[in-house]
Amino acid sequence: MPIAIAPGVTVNIAGNKIEVKGSRGELSLNLPPILSLERENDQIRVKRKANHKPAKSLHGLYARLINNMIMGVDRGFEKKLQIVGVGYRARMEGEDLVMQIGFSHPIRFSPPEGVKIQVEGNQAISVSGCDKQKVGETAAQIRRYRPPEPYKGKGIRYEGEWVRRKAGKAIA
């Protein structure tokens, strides 16, 4: 399947390295020697030099990675988190995210380069950037500070995540 290059995105292919630049940033990726790239007008094709199972797996993987790079520098990626719990809140201090999530001290989180964090209200966190892997990993790191617990549902969860609730202690 060819990978379409969005308008406004520039792609440079040099050997086994691809660089993608767009309005939201720039990304680069080194391909394994078993794969090669061909550019045809506004499309890129990933070709494999062998036909064994590991080569086929890498072929699909790198095709999706290149597609995600093009989508990321064009539109970007975003993950939304929600903080649920009485007294739980978040705010921004400069570039850092500061969260009050039930510990005796506030949790301070500095985002990695290329990832932007915004707080909407007190309990909605938006993680965005052009690199899909970095955005997802950053959201997962924030969620790891206080994952949702099954009894009251308190904690940090992805937007739309359903937390299975357990019954509390039964009184006999």
What confidence tens digit (pLDDT) does each residue in 73-103 have?
999 999 999 999 999 999 999 999 999 999 9
Residues 45 and 95 in one domain: no
Average pLDDT over residues 116-139: 94
Domain hosting residue 141, numbered range: 77-158
Residues 154 and 82 in one domain: yes
φ/ψ of residue 48, rounded to 5: -110, 145
Residues 68 and 82 in one domain: no
Is the pLDDT at 55 greater than 90? The verdict is: no
**Residue entry with tokens 């009050």:** 100
Average pLDDT taken over every residue of the chain: 91
pLDDT value of position 84:
93
pLDDT value of position 171:
76
Average pLDDT over residues 1-15: 88
pLDDT value of position 50:
87
Residues 154 and 87 in one domain: yes
Q: Are 78 and 127 in contact (CB under 8 A)?
A: yes
pLDDT value of position 145:
95
Is the pLDDT at 123 greater than 70? The verdict is: yes
Name the region of 96 (left: φ>0; alpha: ψ -120 to 50; beta: rest): beta
Could you give the CA distance from residue 155 to residue 148 in angstroms, rounded to a whole number?
Answer: 4
Half-sphere exposure of 112 (CA within 13 A, CB side): 14
The amino acid occupying position 17 is K
Residue spans of alpha helices (H) in the chain: 53-74, 132-144
pLDDT tens digit sequence for 136-154: 999 999 999 999 999 998 9
* Cα distance between the two ends of the chain: 63
pLDDT value of position 99:
94
Query: Of the residues 74, 101, 127, which one is the last residue of a structural domain?
Result: 74
Q: Compute the 3-state secondary structure of the chain and give helix, strand, coil in percent, each to the nearest 5.
A: 20, 40, 40
Q: Are 21 and 49 in contact (CB under 8 A)?
A: no
**Residue entry with tokens 């394994």:** 32
Query: Of the residues 74, 105, 120, which one is the last residue of a structural domain?
Result: 74
Residues 68 and 11 in one domain: yes
Looking up residue 91, the CATH number of its domain turns out to be 3.90.930.12
pLDDT value of position 40:
87
The answer to pTM > 0.75 is yes
Query: Is 172 a member of any domain?
Result: no
Query: Of the residues 45, 74, 103, which one is the last residue of a structural domain?
Result: 74
Residue 72: burial class (beta carbons within 10 Å; 0-12, 13-18, 19+): buried
Query: Is 52 a member of any domain?
Result: yes
pLDDT value of position 172:
66
